[in-house]
Structures are given as structure tokens and as C-alpha cells.
């Protein structure tokens, strides 16, 4: 299953889906009270390792400017903040136990799933010591908090369609923003041309009236009066 995490489809896209879900759970029943935030993506590369008695999940993006990478960081940091508040809150003052669920689904193995709950530590780092950008999220879990399952209800097509729809929407938003910026720049250029034509001779766009052969009344100019 571990090697399947790096499988790609015929288009070169990753076949592994990563889901983050930040929730609050009831302290008595363990049931989910409220979902705070969620992210589903298949942009990053995922790897697992057992290091120092912990199970480590590394999620690596090509660039640290990727929007999903920043959202993933925010969700993880929100979980840490909520957990700190929960630990220090007075008895009975909690709105529920914070819970961060990380689910990894390699779609090349139908129904396979890796589920991890509540990392004990996380950090952002370069994926390689020689790399300048911090483009990798590393999560450390207790071994008992990580499980390997087969999900009989796993709908590969539905998940794939959802991720593709999100990727398409994000790309469309970026293209739309770029188009608006180009239209704004084109409008400004045309506006400057129109203003330049409308100005009488001797006037400039930025300096007002241009004085040519001006006499200021000092020195040689004064002597020539």
C-alpha cells in the first residue's frame, strides 16, 4: 500500500487523495458535534515512515505557495490552537474535544485507506535539506492513532470527480483574476492615450504645462530684456 501512494494516472496526476477534517467531538460519546473545516486534495505527494517510535506522515507540495498547502497548514495550526485551549479550559467549559482526522486514500488500490487522528507534533520544512522553500508538512502520530483499512463504501469515482471539480474551480478563479488584471491594465493604457490626445499642445501627462524657451528674469535672460 505504501508504494501505491506515489502512483499516477495516464495524465501524470497523483492517484492518492488526502483529506483533512477538523472537528469537535462530544467528550462522553465521542461523536462528532461539529465539523470546523475540511480539505480534499490530490495535489501533494504523501509518504509514511516509522521514526523514533512515531508514525510520520509527510505531505509534500511542489511549491509552498500552493493554496491547498496553505489551507492545510491553517487547519493544522487551528487544531493545535483548539487543543491548547481545550487542555487549559475549566471543567465543563469545553465546546467539545478538538479532533483532526487525516485520511489518505491511494486510488490505485480500490477501497484502501490510511486513517490517522490527532497528531502530537507538526512542522513545516523543506522536502530536501538542499531545498530553500519549506514545502512539506510533517505530522507525527502515535502508532495506535494510525490505522490501515479497507473501506467497502469507498466511491473512487465520486471522490475523483470532487477533487477534479475543486481543481478546475481553482484554475478558473486564477485565470479569471489574471484576465481582470489584464483588462484593467489595458483600460489604463487606453485611458492614458485618450487623455494625451485631449490635452492641448505643450501639456504633458505628468508634469502639467511644459515651458519652452522660458525667461525667468535672472542673469542673461534679464540682460536680454
pLDDT in tens, 204-218: 555 554 444 445 454
Determine what percent of the chain is predicted with pLDDT higher than 90: 36
DSSP state of 6: G
DSSP state string for 117-128: E--SEEEEE-SS
- Cβ neighbours of 102 (radius 10 Å): 24
213: left (phi over 0), alpha (psi -120 to 50) or beta: left
Q: If you average pLDDT over residues 190-198, what whole number do you get? A: 78
pTM: 0.64
Q: How confident is the model at residue 4 (pLDDT cuts 50, 70, 90)?
A: confident
Are 1 and 106 within 8 A, CB to CB?
yes
**Nine-digit cell string for 74:** 491553517
Q: Counting Cβ atoms within 10 Å, is residue 99 exposed (0-12), middle (13-18) or buried (19+)?
A: buried
The pLDDT score that the predictor gives to residue 167 is 55
With 50 as the cut, is the pLDDT of residue 139 above it? yes
Q: How confident is the model at residue 23 (pLDDT cuts 50, 70, 90)?
A: very high
Closest CA to 20 of 42, 3, 48: 42
Are 99 and 86 within 8 A, CB to CB?
no
The pLDDT score that the predictor gives to residue 37 is 94
More confident residue, 21 or 113: 21
Amino acid at each position: 500500500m505504501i508504494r501505491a501512494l506515489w502512483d499516477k494516472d495516464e495524465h501524470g496526476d497523483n492517484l492518492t487523495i488526502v483529506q483533512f477534517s477538523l472537528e469537535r467531538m462530544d467528550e462522553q460519546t465521542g461523536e462528532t458535534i461539529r465539523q470546523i473545516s475540511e480539505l480534499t486534495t490530490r495535489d501533494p505527494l504523501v509518504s509514511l515512515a516509522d521514526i523514533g517510535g512515531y508514525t510520520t506522515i509527510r505531505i509534500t507540495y511542489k511549491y509552498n505557495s500552493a493554496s491547498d498547502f496553505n489551507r492545510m497548514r491553517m487547519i493544522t495550526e487551528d487544531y493545535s490552537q483548539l487543543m491548547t485551549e481545550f487542555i487549559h479550559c475549566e471543567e465543563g467549559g469545553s465546546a467539545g474535544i478538538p479532533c483532526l482526522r487525516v485520511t489518505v486514500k491511494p486510488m490505485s488500490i480500490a477501497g484502501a485507506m490510511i486513517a490517522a487522528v490527532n497528531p502530537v507534533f507538526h512542522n513545516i520544512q523543506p522536502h530536501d535539506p538542499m531545498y530553500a522553500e519549506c514545502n512539506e508538512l510533517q505530522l507525527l502520530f502515535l502508532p495506535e492513532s494510525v490505522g490501515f483499512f479497507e473501506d467497502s463504501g469507498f466511491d473512487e469515482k465520486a471522490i475523483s470527480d470532487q477533487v477534479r471539480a475543486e481543481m478546475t474551480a481553482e484554475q478558473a478563479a486564477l485565470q479569471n483574476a489574471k484576465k481582470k488584471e489584464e483588462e484593467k491594465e489595458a483600460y489604463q493604457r487606453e485611458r492614458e492615450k485618450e487623455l494625451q490626445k485631449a490635452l492641448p499642445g505643450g501639456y504633458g501627462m505628468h508634469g502639467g504645462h511644459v515651458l519652452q524657451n522660458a525667461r525667468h528674469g535672472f542673469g542673461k535672460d534679464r540682460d536680454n530684456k
